[in-house]
Amino acid sequence: MTQGTGHGENGDRDRSSEEAALSERLGNLDQRLSEFRDRRIKTEQPAGDGEDRAARASAMALGFRLSSELIAGVVVGAGIGWGFDRLLSTSPFGFIVFLLLGFVAGVVNVVRTAGAGQSRRGGS
């Protein structure tokens, strides 16, 4: 029954040496992670940062243009359909037909604009 009391001092020494080894490994890991982050930050910031921003802005402008053309086609089609329904009392039919036509027109405009953008950039 006295085995636990004699083993306590050795257990404490083992634990403290394990904790010291763990602390050392954690310190090494932290140092390696810091070096890795520094290298990653340096590689993520290319020298031509202004050119990259200009390309992003151009791509974002094109994205907004394409999305607005699609939305405008749908909204205009829905408006014309609603107007025909009010004028001719054909309740949902004109709205549905012109909404679909507006969607198709919006998609055609998006495809046409995206295709024109591709040919300007040197695509096929």
pLDDT tens by residue, 6-58: 455 666 777 888 899 989 999 999 999 898 888 888 776 655 566 788 888 88
Percent of the chain with pLDDT over 70: 79
Assign 3-class secondary structure to the chain: CCHHHHHHHHHHHHHHHHHHHHHHHHHHHHHHHHHHHHHHHHHHCCCCHHHHHHHHHHHHHHHHHHHHHHHHHHHHHHHHHHHHHHHHCCCHHHHHHHHHHHHHHHHHHHHHHHHHHHHHCCCC
Please say if the pLDDT value at position 106 is more than 90.
Answer: yes
Domain ranges in the chain are 1-45, 49-124
Residues 48-101: tens digit of each pLDDT:
566 788 888 888 998 999 999 999 999 999 999 999 999 998 888 999 999 999
C-alpha closest to that of 65 among 15, 7, 114: 114
* CA torsion through residues 99, 100, 106, 109, sign: negative
pLDDT of residue 53: 83
